[in-house]
Amino acid sequence: MDERSALALLYRRAGFGATSSELSAAAALGYSESVSKLINGLEQMDPPADAIAPPEMLQPPFYKPKSLSTPAAIMQFNATLSEERIALTNWWLERMVASVNPLREKLAFFLHCHFPTAISKVRFPLYMYRQNQIFRTQGSGDFATLTEAVSTDPAMLIWLDAGTDRLPDPNENFARELMERFTMGIGNYTELDVRAAAMAFTGWHLNTQTGQFAIATKLHTNVPQTFLGQKVSTGQEVINAVTRSQACARFVVASVWSRFAYPIETTDPLVAELASIYSKDRNIKNLLKMVFMHPSFLSTKTSTGLIKQPAEYVVGALRALGISAARLPAIKPPIMSAMSGLGQVLFDPPSVGGWPQNEYWLSTSAALARWRFAHQLSLVGDISPVVDSPAGSRVDAAAEFLSVESWSQSTSAALKRASTNPHTLVTLALVSPEYVSN
Amino acid sequence: MNDSKSDEGSVVEPSGRVGDPFGGLKSTPREVWSVNRRKFLALAGGFGAAGVLSATLGPRLWEDFFGSAPKEAAVVKPPLPLTSVTSKRPLVLVTLYGGNDGLNTVIPYQSSVYQSNRGQLAIDAAKVLPLGQGYGLHPSMTGFKRLWDARQLAIVQGVGFANPNFSHFESMDIWQSGVPGEPVSSGWLGRWLDATNSSPLRAVSVGPTMPTLLTGEKIQGAAIPPGKLVLPGDSTEQMLFAALSEINSGSPQLFSEAAAACGNLIELSRQMGPTLSRTATSDPLHLAGATSSALAANGGAALAIADGGGGQSAPNVLATQLSIVANLILAGAVPQVYSVDLGGFDTHVNQQPTQAKLLGELDTAVTAFVDALTNTVSGHGVVVVIYTEFGRRVNANSNAGTDHGWANNVFIVGPGVKGGFYGEPPDLNRLQEGNLVFTTDFRSVYATMFDKVLGVDPKPFLQGSFNTLSMV
């Protein structure tokens, strides 16, 4: 892979794609310096993104017991939450579009997929915002610390029914998903471990008046439980045990590799190799650097291994076609309806399993949604690099414009036939397999 | 469903949540609604429905999907003799995501073990809709009771597989792939597409994404976009879009699949576009009126709050999907297999109102669907299979909810289905780690569908031989 292709791949995976001029700037730095720049960006300010203020949101306690006694008051309250939700989703999309440290937003998106939590149940946009900020501010550090922060944050407490895990028959929801989806994966614990962990988490709840995590000692059992072969009596001890396990190291490495490079099983030798280094500090920033610097990352397997998720697709296309964050709210129909048609609305994954990958995004229904979005975007976006090229070189111009390495024979043939109509050409380029893949 | 249904006043148990919009953060009834709403938004997504997240558009979309008020009351009609089925019987899979509590759906209400384990979650015996043999349906399922009495509802009891899996994802994967024990990426009907070398249009799902169920190794079923199927661009753009689907030799797998989706979309539009566009304005299920009746019966405000979307009631998303399916079947469209779904059944907390609401939606949608197809040439052979990833623990947890369990019921419904109980009911006195033990392998249900509905030998698709059941 030549350096420019490598950099284009890096920017697609560690960000939302690079424009031609961004690629030239990266080429001046070289590959490993570009990786360092992206990685260092994880802990730096992101002025254009940080300048976008989050929406005003209701604070806990969200309502007084008697304030919602009439249907009209309830409807008004719900309308407020609904507006907040739309504003919050737009806020994150705008951040992604504006970001100059795109890995920071990309990592927040990855963690949203790793710890999927949906506003449909959490209900209050403020809590989704707070979780999102944890991803952004603590996501690149120690995974054990991050897991505890996410687990004791209101969004997760509500999402997995914390506060309802109580004696004598504790609810197993959080205990199970913590191990299955967030830290270890199936096969590394038993049903008895699930029940033991649920015991250790008894009493965990959200104080709905303050919006703070609390442990109700009356509801917590002090009887030590045997969990993964050790004695635990608190939820924190369970989180410590799982996040420091070898199984968790493999699980986290496989999760990161699968979303940034290509899908991989926890049993793959590559996972063992990276996990042995990762488990020394459990640091996500260091793990990401290892991934981007790994020889297997710069491979055909990587460059053909992922389909863009809708958020990556939409944000990448908006950035490529020069739609600024400030212009987003005025775009009609709204970008969020494109996301809905594509099957991915931010802050609203379908279940605690999050969004699947690859084939999942290649349905006929999604193909239509992509086409509609691309058609709309080619009309409102800046496609001057294609328009300004002579008809005979527009196909190549589109490849450079969209940072696509090369077109396949059939895509190239279709684009050539559209070379007298740049809008059609760009629409087709945006829905081509080469651009749809990541 | 219709006027006669709502007169019975038991479509949904009144929740009485008007003054308690959230029931505290511990309660989940609104989850149901918001899940439904989300699903509906997803269904209504795309640019055909500009601003779908704007709550004010709710009713308009609803009208688009369901048309005007019902014109006639649906009644059970005698089925046409099956001999008049010429070539194909439609098969409709209804997936209930989250693990529906089967024990509170087909209820052993006379069992003291049931009563004592379920405590406050036990359904009041006086409200159960009796089926005989000590079982009764959940009170929300009045339509299913009518189908049962008409012998059009078969209930297979104790369905599951050995070595139960308590993960939603793995258990659902097993159900959808039809292969327990090892992860398989293809679905049981996806392999049917592969083996019969079918057009992807022969097995379709309604919504933005494709379930594993209809995903083969080679061929992936088509996903039907909701709303009017209008392609963007002029005829040149459409022709060139179709040209993108040409697969290049040596093309990476994912690129080929992305290309195939373009071609399949064009084909879907060509073959079903006009019918799908009609669906946006005509609802064979006649459910628009029932929704407002149900709203009135249950207190409009109570439903509106749960919606979380500014006061409009959440539409019955399953009915929306089944309305599309009914139109396609009535139009004699290409697909033989359809997949639709309803989510929100993971009732760890405060199960009763959530499940009552969801089962009510299921009941309304499926009953209206069956009624709409009864006595129609292309639809009277339809078979509807309703399943979920697992049952739930017999003993309720301490939050008026239930945790993940094992064996469950499968419903098989249709005008030509021979109603009644099938399989063996699990023994409530012989639980395994608190769970109902399965008695019928789920692949028996699939073998039955392959053999009797799709007309193919089940063996190659199921890695083994399984008894077929006699309801179809």
d(CA B235, nearest CA chain A) in Å: 11
Distances in whole angstroms, Cα of residue A64 to Cα of each of A44, A77, A206, B19: 40, 11, 17, 12
Contact A338 B46 (CB under 8 A): yes
| pLDDT at res. B287 | 75
* Domain shared by B86 and B171, yes or no: yes
Q: What is the pTM of this model?
A: 0.83
The tally of domains found in chain A comes to 2
For residue B166, tell me if it sits in a domain. Answer: yes
Q: State which residues form the domain around A315.
A: 310-436
What are residue B471's phi and psi, to 5 degrees?
A: -80, -15
* Domain shared by B180 and B306, yes or no: yes
- Rounded Cα–Cα distance for residues B191 and B176 (Å): 11
Q: Which residue has tokens 């149900």?
A: B294
Position B12 pLDDT exceeds 90: no
With beta carbons under 8 A apart, name residues in chain A contacting B261: 362-364, 366-367
**Residue in A158, A173, A307 nearest the CB of B258:** A307
With beta carbons under 8 A apart, name residues in chain A contacting B298: none
For residue B469, tell me if it sits in a domain. Answer: no
Token readout for A265 is 């099983």
Mean pLDDT, each 10-residue run in order, chain A (438 residues): 95 96 96 98 96 97 85 89 95 97 97 95 95 98 98 95 76 92 96 95 93 92 94 96 98 98 97 98 98 98 97 98 94 89 92 90 95 96 97 96 94 97 98 97
Average pLDDT over residues B84-109: 88
For residue B313, tell me if it sits in a domain. Answer: yes
Confidence at B97, pLDDT banded by 50, 70, 90: very high
Contact A340 B247 (CB under 8 A): no
| pLDDT at res. A337 | 87
Q: State which residues form the domain around B207.
A: 3-227+280-462
| pLDDT at res. B69 | 29
The mean-pLDDT minimum among A350-364, B129-143, B313-327 falls in B313-327
For residue B83, tell me if it sits in a domain. Answer: yes
Give the HSE-up count for residue B443: Cα atoms under 13 Å, Cβ half-sphere: 19
**Residue in B46, B166, B209 nearest the CB of A360:** B209
For residue A321, tell me if it sits in a domain. Answer: yes
**Helix or strand holding residue A405 (H, E):** none
For residue A28, tell me if it sits in a domain. Answer: no
For residue B439, tell me if it sits in a domain. Answer: yes
The tally of domains found in chain B comes to 2
Compute the CA torsion angle B207, B213, B218, B223 (nearest 10 deg).
Answer: -10
Position B73 pLDDT exceeds 80: no
With beta carbons under 8 A apart, name residues in chain A contacting B254: 304-307, 358-359, 362, 433, 437
Other beta carbons within 10 Å of A286: 16
Using a pLDDT cut of 90, give the percent of chain B over it: 63
* Domain shared by B269 and B390, yes or no: no
**Of B273, B306, B341, which residue is a domain's last?**
B273
* Domain shared by B336 and B244, yes or no: no
- Rounded Cα–Cα distance for residues B363 and B365 (Å): 6
- Rounded Cα–Cα distance for residues B385 and B452 (Å): 13
* Domain shared by B221 and B344, yes or no: yes
* Domain shared by B148 and B236, yes or no: no
* Domain shared by B39 and B153, yes or no: yes
* Domain shared by B110 and B192, yes or no: yes
Spatial contact of B90 and B340, defined as CB atoms under 8 Å apart: no
| pLDDT at res. B88 | 83
Q: Does A427 touch chain B (CB under 8 A)?
A: yes
ipTM: 0.94
* Domain shared by A223 and A314, yes or no: no
For residue A3, tell me if it sits in a domain. Answer: no
Spatial contact of A274 and A295, defined as CB atoms under 8 Å apart: no
| pLDDT at res. B314 | 53
Contact A164 B252 (CB under 8 A): no
* Domain shared by A314 and A431, yes or no: yes
* Domain shared by B238 and B372, yes or no: no
Position B87 pLDDT exceeds 80: no
* Sign of the C-alpha dihedral computed for residues B300, B301, B302 and B307 taken in this order: positive
For residue A227, tell me if it sits in a domain. Answer: yes
Q: How far is CA B340 from the centre of its chain?
A: 5
For residue A314, tell me if it sits in a domain. Answer: yes
**Of B211, B246, B273, which residue is a domain's last?**
B273
**Of A243, A268, A291, which residue is a domain's last?**
A243
Q: How far is CA B422 from the centre of its chain?
A: 20
Spatial contact of A398 and A429, defined as CB atoms under 8 Å apart: yes
**Of B243, B273, B303, which residue is a domain's last?**
B273
Q: Give the mutation candidate from B52, B224, B244 for the A interface (greatest A CB count, under 10 A).
A: B244
Spatial CB neighbours of B100, under 8 Å, sequence gap ≥ 6: B345, B355, B358, B359, B388, B391, B392, B408
**Chain A residue with minimal CA distance to B18?**
A71
B387-416 per-position pLDDT tens digit: 999 999 999 998 899 999 999 999 999 999
Q: Does A36 touch chain B (CB under 8 A)?
A: no
For residue B470, tell me if it sits in a domain. Answer: no
Contact B348 A431 (CB under 8 A): no
Token readout for A395 is 């196909």
**Residue in A63, A171, A336 nearest the CB of B399:** A171
Contact A170 B397 (CB under 8 A): yes
**Residue in B24, B46, B236 nearest the CB of A369:** B46
| pLDDT at res. A70 | 84
Pairing of the two strands B106-107 and B129-132: unpaired
Q: Does A164 touch chain B (CB under 8 A)?
A: yes
- Rounded Cα–Cα distance for residues B373 and A343 (Å): 30
DSSP string, A304-325: TS-BPPHHHHHHHHHHHTT--G
* Domain shared by B242 and B170, yes or no: no
Token readout for B244 is 């993108």
| pLDDT at res. A161 | 85
Q: Does A73 touch chain B (CB under 8 A)?
A: no
* Domain shared by B122 and B238, yes or no: no
Contact A340 B42 (CB under 8 A): yes
Contact A433 B268 (CB under 8 A): no
* Sign of the C-alpha dihedral computed for residues A112, A115, A118 and A124 taken in this order: negative
With beta carbons under 8 A apart, name residues in chain B contacting A79: 55, 310-311
Contact A360 B55 (CB under 8 A): no
**Of A243, A271, A290, which residue is a domain's last?**
A243
Spatial contact of A99 and A48, defined as CB atoms under 8 Å apart: yes
B28-45 per-position pLDDT tens digit: 222 222 223 233 333 332
List A residues 210-269 in contact with B (Cβ-Cβ < 8 A).
none
d(CA A121, nearest CA chain B) in Å: 5
For residue A202, tell me if it sits in a domain. Answer: yes
3-class state of residue A437 by DSSP? strand
The one-letter code for the residue type at B390 is F
| pLDDT at res. B167 | 87
For residue A299, tell me if it sits in a domain. Answer: no
Spatial contact of B469 and B157, defined as CB atoms under 8 Å apart: no
- Rounded Cα–Cα distance for residues B400 and B118 (Å): 9
* Domain shared by B326 and B223, yes or no: yes
Give the HSE-up count for residue A328: Cα atoms under 13 Å, Cβ half-sphere: 25
Confidence at B280, pLDDT banded by 50, 70, 90: low
**Residue in B41, B308, B398 nearest the CB of A166:** B398
With beta carbons under 8 A apart, name residues in chain A contacting B240: 414, 417-418, 424, 428
| pLDDT at res. B289 | 40
For residue B467, tell me if it sits in a domain. Answer: no
For residue B354, tell me if it sits in a domain. Answer: yes
Confidence at B64, pLDDT banded by 50, 70, 90: very low
**Of A225, A243, A261, which residue is a domain's last?**
A243
With beta carbons under 8 A apart, name residues in chain B contacting A410: 243-244, 246-248, 259
